[in-house]
Amino acid sequence: MSTLDWVVLFGTLALIVTYGIYKTYGPKSLDSYLRGKNSMNWWSIGLSIMATQASAITFLSTPGQAYEDGMRFIQFYFGLPLAMIVISVVFIPIYYKLKVYTAYEFLENRFDLKTRTLAALLFIIQRGLAAGITIYAPAIILSTLLGWNLTATNILIGSVVILYTVSGGTEAVSITQKQQMAVMMGGMVLAGIIVIQMLPISFQEAMHVAGKMDKLNMINLEFDISDRYNVWSGMTAAVFLFLSYFGTDQSQVQRYLSGQTLAQSRMGLIMNGFLKIPMQFIILFIGVMVFVFYQFFLPPVVFNTVQTDKLRQSEYAGEFEGLEADYAENFEQSKNSYLEMLDAIDQKDEGRETEIRERIGVLKSEQKAIRDEVKDLIVTNDPVAETRDTDYVFMRFVMDNLPKGIIGLLFAVIFSAAMSSTASELNALGSTTTIDLYKRSVKKEASDKHYLNSSKLFTAFWGLGAILFATYASLFENLIQAVNLLGSLFYGTILGIFLVAFFMKWVKGQAVFIAALMSQALVLFVHFSNGDMADGNLWDIGFLWYNPIGCLAVMLFAALIQLVIPPKHS
């Protein structure tokens, strides 16, 4: 990176953090620290909700996923507007009526203390791990691209977030997220415009290339329970995930509990529901345009060039250089075939177009075989090396092709996204630990100042824990899928508890508590016995379906258990 890039990167981050601390500096009560003085208007809430969900993983993994798999990931979000409407009608009015600090306070009011504590613990387990991933995900990519030490990068991201989150609480998180969202979306849109302008073909021709290579297929109506992303999972299984995440996850609930009024909170949530799909579309489309770009400009054999640089210094250098030469020769044939295909499309010669597409398919298979050979060499040279490079695609493109200053801005996008989502998670973990565990079950009588300081200490504790987890984590198959998987393991059970509370008034605390434990055990059993049935697993189920399985299991088990529990008589 150039000096200008470093100035843009650190200048942007310093301005955001300084502004957040400056705007929220001063004495606070527990209420203002956790609910931000109920000062947020609807668009601030909407941006804060979007920034909380849009972690660095979104901007690292999503373009790479589109590069590899096309636009079909967007189907995951099709059920989001429906979920936002349900939460606005059912969840938020109850939270406002009870004036709760956390979503789990409501469960004690409806059931009992142990059910509240169980739901809070399930949230803390999964969100505590997710906070580590949201730091680790950008850190491992950024440390690789910038040549930084991974542990130092984890500590840098985590420490900056801890600084302003502990200092300003919920209000600091919400205020900084507005600036972070401006940087994130502004940087991504600018990158999208630049990549389109850099294409050696017209935009219409680029769309032809993307379409013929199946990168623009957004709708899959085929029902396949093992497929993570199709219309059916997006409109059913994903709805359960969104209901739980936005309706019961304290990192999101805390965003709209800081609203000025019930109406403002509802409008903020609805704003998120209808802007999130266009936002994801833009990010995925940028990934598709990067794919088109690399059909006409030679891409790296493996996008994680740190690993290939190690190969150049190893005893396998000669073999690697031979594979690189084969890859470059294949690329030239592929590039010429694309130009021929565009000519056939222009001439409306469908027979010739089909023939060329088949030829491109063969060349793509050969490219993949060469890449696989290089990855095998990487592992032979370094057995612990990570060869999956999807998460490196976008930032590798940025570093290799974008002008000075823009590179620094795009790195600021990744850092801002990491900070925004991590800040919300730490803020929520500190609140839940203080309100649902410490204040309720450990130290029940203390001053407001004591609980305020406790919340700050717990926020810092979870921040240090997230840094520690990130330092010792290992790279998942795909970072964005790792976060969704982690949530799906627990969200179904938590949502089931809340839906029983809302709609099954005759079910009591003992029944729902036992049902929740049984449901969580069932989801974990399904997950650990899941996989390709050809490998001897019991079933092959996409992890999004864990959400309805867990939720419906709680409701079914609670109903059955309540029927056999004898009624209490006064």
Which of 173, 158, 166 lies closest to 51, judged by CA? 173
Q: What is the CA radius of gyration of the chain?
A: 25
Q: Note the maximum CA span of the chain.
A: 86
More confident call, 100 vs 298: 298
pLDDT, one tens digit per residue, over 483-507 is: 667 778 888 999 999 999 999 999 9
pLDDT for the residue numbered 461: 92
pLDDT for the residue numbered 538: 63
Q: Element (H or E) spanning 373, and its range? A: helix 350-381
Where do the H-state alpha helices sit in 221-316?
231-232, 238-248, 250-256, 262-293, 305-312
Question: If you average pLDDT over residues 463-492, what whole number do you get?
Answer: 72
Question: If you average pLDDT over residues 185-211, what whole number do you get?
Answer: 90
Q: Exposed e or buried b for every residue in 536-551, given b needs 16+ CB within 10 A?
A: eeeeebbbbbbbbbbb
Q: Are 320 and 311 in contact (CB under 8 A)?
A: yes
More confident call, 362 vs 568: 362
Residues shown for the chain: 570
Q: Are 418 and 90 in contact (CB under 8 A)?
A: no
| Residue 480 scores a pLDDT above 70 | no
Question: If you average pLDDT over residues 345-361, what whole number do you get?
Answer: 89
Distance (Å, whole) CA 180 – CA 10: 13
pLDDT, one tens digit per residue, over 401-415 is: 888 888 888 888 888
More confident call, 365 vs 415: 365
Q: Cβ of 335: how many Cβ atoms within 10 Å?
A: 16
| Residue 569 scores a pLDDT above 60 | no
| Residue recorded with tokens 């389109």 | 196
pLDDT for the residue numbered 482: 63
| Residue 570 scores a pLDDT above 50 | no
From 10-19, 82-91, 161-170, 228-237, the region with the lowest mean pLDDT: 228-237
Q: What single-letter DSSP state applies at residue 40?
A: B
Both tokens of residue 161?
């977030």
DSSP codes joined into one string, 76-143: GGTTHHHHHHHIIIIIHHHHHHHT-SSTTHHHHHHS-HHHHHHHHHHHHHHHHHHHHHHHHHHHHHHH
pLDDT for the residue numbered 250: 86
DSSP codes joined into one string, 508-559: -HHHHHHHHHHHHHHHHHHHHTBS-GGGT-SB---GGGHHHHHHHHHHHHHH
Q: Are 417 and 184 in contact (CB under 8 A)?
A: yes
Distance (Å, whole) CA 306 – CA 266: 47
pLDDT, one tens digit per residue, over 446-463 is: 888 898 889 999 999 999
Distance (Å, whole) CA 175 – CA 21: 9
pLDDT for the residue numbered 483: 62
Distance (Å, whole) CA 562 – CA 429: 32
pLDDT for the residue numbered 227: 65
Task: Read off the pLDDT band of 331 (50, 70, 90).
Answer: very high
Q: pTM of the prediction?
A: 0.84
